[in-house]
Structure 1
Amino acid sequence: MGSDDHYAEEAPTHRVRVDAFSIDTTAVTNAEFATFVDATGYVTVAERDLDPADYPAAPAENLQPGSMVFVPTRGPVDLRHLSQWWRWKPGACWHHPHGSRSSIDKLLDHPVVHVSHEDASAYAAWAGASLPTEAEWEYAARGGLEGTAYTWGDVARPDGRIMANTWDGPDFPWRSSGESGFLRTAPVGSFPANGYGLFDMAGNVWEWTDDWWTEAHPADADKPCCIPSNPRPGVREQSFDPAQPQFAIPRKVVKGGSHLCADSYCLRYRPAARRPQMVDTGTSHQGFRCVRRPPTEAPPA
């Protein structure tokens, strides 16, 4: 698990064990999430009214339900400032993915987006499932390949094939070459499955896990007997971003990269890649899938 060859938060590589589990073949789609909402009346975080007491420094006109939407820039920009291509759009939510006037009518087989960790957890509980741990997610993403850079091997484009829905071309975030045929999300299963038959474990949308964020992985066990099983290394109290004390919101690990991952900016459509995401915030490139674990057997009488 992890990587010593890319971003600091992915290191060090280390061995873990996970118990048996099954995982959704694809990310949860808009159609599947709509079935959940129709059955339960659930209202996502992005659709709920905001409490001014939670945002004391925010102008009143900004306190509208909404979410973060990717908006391409008009030309090259300083990639250190992601606020240039993200916009808070009132009315943006899972069924209005690009803003209040957009719809999912033609996106029912696309992954649901604009879901917070709470939203994803609520769906999973309704489905009799759970969100994966980071270790489970990464194990599944690797598809039986150990230590390779990508879910399909070590070459980004074997035989020139595009293997995942990521940003086309070097000109992020203003101009996509359109080579893959998709400028935003793609229907789930549009690209080759990994060795376990799982689709989109790289690109398309970032996916929630149920683990609290940590700045790095724990060190590898020095003895085989000490390899951790089903590890959950993070804790809520240490998951905040110390560089942004004004955002005192805990963060969970998201995995897999998205359609906005560009080699020139965000080489994170890899199984080892990991990023922190505030639990109350969804975006237009963030979704999830569920896992199911066998019931624990009762000890013999």
Structure 2
Amino acid sequence: MILIKNGKFLMGSDSEDGFIYDKEGPPTLIDINGFYIDETSVTNEEFQNFINETNYITEAEKFGNSFVFAALLTDEERVKYQKADLMGIWFDVPGANWKHPQGPKSNIINKMNYPVVHVSLYDAIEYCKWSGKRLPTEAEWEYAARGGLIQNKFSWGNELKQNNKYNLNIWNGDFPFGNTLEDGFLDLAPAKSFEPNGYGVYQMLGNIWEWCINAKNVSLEYFQKKKTDEISNLEINENKEYAIRGGSYLCHDAFCKRYKVYSRNGTAPRSTAGNMGFRCVKDI
């Protein structure tokens, strides 16, 4: 884990490149207590160790299905399985879960250093309990993602590319068809595929959405008024959506745009998909 020291930072942005209903601004000064954060998203290998020791069964395994990106399925599978959205980007695939990310015929044998996906908020919390850690608040997540930079769009600055190269895994080209693979990936990338930020933390932008412990769309002032332990100890409410951060390999300016350090999103706590995982934090 990486030590993130005490500090204050401006959370959020007044940029107009997001969605007004995401409540990304106005920039709000937040006081952060120091904490440790996982160097990478939790990997398949780490999650496998958790499963081996606890025999835990994930939500996707219990429900028997999860969402898989259309381009990762064969033509036959796209005819066989049910579309999960009007655009046909996602399919509801029986047998898709953390160890079978594209359905029952797939596996993670050669992907142990990839982020674990198809993980619900409840699954992530159970892993945290086992590992002696917890999920971050959005404020902690963003503070770590910024890497010490002040009011920049990305973990490395304001330009999407560094030295004319991508430093994150998002959709390149025309969405949702015609990925140019300029960043090297159609699907997930290994957890250490790109350069770490100024704190030494890897890939907090792109690749996968990462769960946070607070409810979706709380105001930024919420993190001024509430202590971390107050937020972390609240019981999960089935009727609320919870924050996810970072964007994923499907982010594109014509679609979700939510791959900046201040971008916000959320979903139901039992949601699972092939681009949803998490990383943990720990109090000092």
Q: TM-score range by the shorter chain?
A: 0.7 to 0.9
The residue aligned with 1:141 is 145
The root-mean-square deviation of aligned C-alpha atoms, in Å, is 2.5
CA deviation after TM superposition for structure 1 residue 269, in Å = 1.3
The residue aligned with 1:151 is 155
Tell which structure's C-alpha radius of gyration is larger.
1
Q: Distance in 2 between matches of 1:217 and 1:183?
A: 34
Partner amino acid, structure 1, of 2:159: V
Is 1:202 matched up with 2:225?
no
The residue aligned with 2:262 is 272
Partner amino acid, structure 2, of 1:291: V
Provide the identity percentage: 40
The residue aligned with 2:82 is none
SS in 1 for 2:31: coil
Q: Distance in 2 between matches of 1:121 and 1:219?
A: 22
Question: In the TM superposition, what are the counterparts of 1:55-70 in structure 2 within 5 Å?
Answer: 65-70=64-69
Structure 2: give runs of 5+ residues left out of the alignment: 1-10, 76-84
- Aligned residue among 151, 156, 179 for 2:182: 179
Question: In the TM superposition, what are the counterparts of 1:221-236 in structure 2 within 5 Å?
Answer: 228=225, 230=227
CA deviation after TM superposition for structure 1 residue 217, in Å = 3.2
Partner amino acid, structure 2, of 1:204: N
SS in 1 for 2:163: helix
SS in 1 for 2:122: helix
Is 1:101 matched up with 2:105?
yes
The residue aligned with 1:160 is 164
Partner amino acid, structure 2, of 1:41: N
Partner amino acid, structure 2, of 1:24: D
- Aligned residue among 277, 283, 287 for 2:273: 283
C-alpha spacing 1:22/1:29, structure 2 compared with 1 (3 Å): same
Q: How many equivalent residue pairs?
A: 258
The residue aligned with 1:45 is 59
Partner amino acid, structure 2, of 1:136: E
Partner amino acid, structure 2, of 1:71: A
Question: In the TM superposition, what are the counterparts of 1:243-254 in structure 2 within 5 Å?
Answer: 249-254=239-244
Structure 1: give runs of 5+ residues left out of the alignment: 50-64, 75-80, 221-226, 241-247, 295-301
TM-score if structure 2 supplies the norm length?
0.84
Q: Distance in 2 between matches of 1:219 and 1:132?
A: 15
CA deviation after TM superposition for structure 1 residue 83, in Å = 4.8
